[in-house]
């Protein structure tokens, strides 16, 4: 198996306390890695490190290294290209205050794509993947902020796909959407993993069970357990707290 991302001895703190403490993790190509764990255990911060969103936080202190395709993501000073390689879906839907079409084509346009035909193709493709096309195809020029929460979340996913990422990170993407749409998107993710790598933070343990190839359990900025789904959900854990969390005893 090819290692797509290698996290080496990563430590993150925002001023006082370590949010992530000397964490090591390999993510393989074309897998879905689910990360579970109670709130404040550093899951979202880990995702933010992957695409260097921490650059925008002045108080963030980071040590260690992250390799993407065996190259440090910190190699270039400019991180915009890195963010094009890694798609990010935040927990709360964000429709940018522009039309639906402009939202989905935003990333390619910012990257310098000017061809209208290509932009249209990307838009249709991404909206279909995010299971939103049928609902919005007749009103592509309305404001994205007028969409419902669930629709905006799928728009966020479409936008994250629009720059053709190699890795897609989803941070509790199903928080704002209904079960039917969640199932639709989960189907899409299963389809997408043939070509890209997916890292998924989730609070829904069943979602990790359904979707993941491997699951990692995080607590207090450390990884307690990391194994294939069969083993981890089959009770083969190294730390008893993982078992307790999966069985709903704490969290």
Partner 1 sequence: MEAKIATEINSAPLEWRQRKSKKPLSEKIIEGLIKGGGFSSIVFILAILFFILKEAYPFLVGAFDFKEFFFSTEWNPASVVKIKYGTFAILVGTLMVTVLSMLIAVPLGLACAFYISEFCSPRLRETYKILIEFLAAIPSVVWGFVAIMMINPLIINLFDVPIGLNILNASIILALMSLPLIVSVGEDALRAVPESYREAAEAMGATKWEVATRVLLPAAKNGLMAAALLGVGRALGETMAVLMATGHAIQIPDSIFEPGRTLTATIAAELGESPKGGEHYQALFAIGLMLFIISFIVNVSADYLIRGRRK
Partner 2 sequence: MFRPSHELTKKELKEKNYQNLLSTITFFLFMPALIIIFLLFLKGYPALSWDFIFQDPINGMTAGGIFPTIVGTFWLVIISVIVSCPLGVIAAIYLSEYAADNKLNRMIRLAILNLAGVPSIVHALFGLGAFVLFLNMGTSILAASFTLAVMNLPVIITSTLESLQSVPLSYREASWNVGASKLQTIRHIVLPNSIPGILTGLVFSVGRSAGETAAILFTGVAFYLPFLPKSVFDQCMSLSMHLFTISTQVVGVPDAYPFATALVLILLILSVNSISVGLRYYFRTRRKW
Give me the 124-143 binding string for partner 2, x by CB under 8 A, dash otherwise: -------------------x
**Nearest approach, Cβ of 237 to partner 2 (angstroms)?**
33
Minimum CB–partner distance for residue 27 and partner 2 (Å)? 19
Q: Which of residues 171-230 bind partner 2 (CB under 8 A)?
A: none
Q: Which is nearer to partner 1, 17 or 78 (CB)?
A: 78
Could you tell me the smallest distance in angstroms from the CB atom of residue 77 to partner 2? 12
Cβ neighbors of 121 (< 8 A, separation 6 or more) are: none
C-alpha distances (whole Å) from 96 to each of 116, 143, 156 are 20, 9, 9
Evaluate whether 42 touches 209 at the Cβ level (below 8 Å).
Answer: no
Cα-flanking dihedrals φ and ψ of residue 128, to 5°?
-65, -45
Asked if 44 touches partner 2 (CB under 8 A), the answer is no
Q: 131 exposed, middle or buried (CB, 10 Å; 0-12, 13-18, 19+)? A: buried
User: Does residue number 167 form part of the binding site for partner 2 (CB under 8 A)?
Assistant: no
- Of partner 2, partner 1, none, which one does residue 90 interact with (CB within 5 to 8 Å by kind)? partner 2
d(CA 93, CA 156): 6
Q: Among residues 149 and 234, whose Cβ is nearest to partner 2?
A: 149
């Amino acid at each position: 198996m090819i290692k797509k991302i290698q996290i080496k001895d990563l430590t993150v703190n925002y001023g006082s306390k370590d949010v992530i403490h000397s964490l090591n993790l390999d993510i393989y190509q074309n897998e879905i890695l689910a990360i579970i764990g109670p709130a404040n255990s550093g899951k979202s911060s880990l995702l933010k490190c992957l695409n260097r969103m921490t650059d925008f936080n002045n108080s963030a202190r980071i040590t260690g290294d992250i390799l993407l395709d065996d190259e440090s993501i910190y190699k270039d000073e400019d991180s915009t290209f890195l963010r094009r390689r890694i798609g990010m879906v935040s927990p709360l839907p964000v429709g940018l205050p522009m039309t639906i079409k402009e939202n989905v084509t935003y990333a390619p346009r910012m990257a310098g794509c000017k061809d209208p035909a290509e932009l249209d193709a990307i838009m249709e493709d991404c909206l279909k993947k995010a299971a939103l096309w049928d609902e919005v195809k007749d009103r592509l020029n309305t404001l994205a902020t007028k969409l419902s929460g669930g629709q905006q979340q799928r728009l966020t996913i479409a936008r994250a796909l629009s720059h053709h990422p190699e890795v897609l990170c989803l941070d509790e993407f199903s928080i704002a959407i209904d079960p039917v749409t969640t199932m639709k998107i989960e189907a899409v993710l299963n389809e997408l993993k043939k070509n890209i790598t997916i890292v998924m933070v989730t609070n829904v343990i069943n979602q990790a069970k359904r979707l993941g190839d491997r699951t990692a359990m995080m607590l207090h900025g450390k990884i307690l357990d990391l194994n294939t789904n069969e083993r981890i959900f089959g009770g083969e854990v190294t730390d008893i707290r993982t078992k307790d969390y999966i069985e709903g005893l704490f969290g």
